[in-house]
Amino acid sequence: MKQERKGSTVILQELTPKGLSPDKKIFIKFSDGDRFLNRRAGTISEALRKYKIPVVYDISRPQKVYAITTVDGEEKMTRALLVRFYARHTWPDGKKYTPYKPELVTFKKLSAEQIKTRKVKSEQRFKLLKAIDDKYGGISAAEGSKELEELRVLLGVYD
């Protein structure tokens, strides 16, 4: 009969001002990782459960910070979490370092034809809403009208 092992495989990587260290510390159990960090039992599991960014500080070496990168093959420290950590963390020298830059949100540039069709649709919507408001006094009163049906087709309700 095969025995189940207690604990989960956990991988820790040191966080430095230059970024995530390539050296990985692999532990078979959480308790082994806790001992390596000179912390009480349950520190790693508590960090995973309680905190948004899975980071643990080594109390015997004050300048060492470790990220819990992987637990049982599941990635815990994403690029977004690294960006967030470095944006907030002040190092012992009093500085903040940003080796991981946040990804910029860009919008696709519309062609002149796309801009024109959007403008035409916007004007059509405005005209239909204005006609409904003038003629019926509101959308709820215009139920079943020709204008409201045109507006619904324009908005893509019947697609």
What residue segments make up the domains of the chain, in order of their start? 10-88, 112-155
The answer to whether residue 2 scores a pLDDT higher than 60 is no
What local confidence, expressed as pLDDT, does residue 7 receive? 61
The answer to whether residue 1 scores a pLDDT higher than 80 is no
Give pLDDT tens digits for 116-143.
999 999 999 999 999 999 999 988 898 8
What local confidence, expressed as pLDDT, does residue 59 receive? 67
Closest by CA position to 136, among listed 156, 37, 58, 128: 128
Most confidently predicted of 15-19, 112-116, 139-143: 112-116
State both tokens at 28.
Answer: 């078979």
The answer to whether residue 113 scores a pLDDT higher than 90 is yes
What local confidence, expressed as pLDDT, does residue 5 receive? 47
Report the share of the chain in percent with pLDDT over 90: 25
Q: Give one word for 44, left, alpha or beta, with left for phi > 0 and alpha for psi -120 to 50.
A: alpha
Q: Report residue 147: phi and psi, to 5°.
A: -65, -40
User: Which residue's structure tokens are 């092992």?
Assistant: 5
123 vs 83, more confident: 123
> CA-CA distance, 130 to 148, in Å (whole number)?
11
Going from the C-alpha of 2 to that of each of 5, 6, 30, 151, the distances in angstroms are: 9, 13, 21, 67
Average of per-residue pLDDT across 3-22: 79
pTM of the model: 0.58
pLDDT band of residue 3 (cuts 50, 70, 90) is: very low
Range name among 1-5, 9-13, 74-78, 120-124 with the lowest pLDDT average:
1-5
Give pLDDT tens digits for 26-39.
999 888 888 888 88
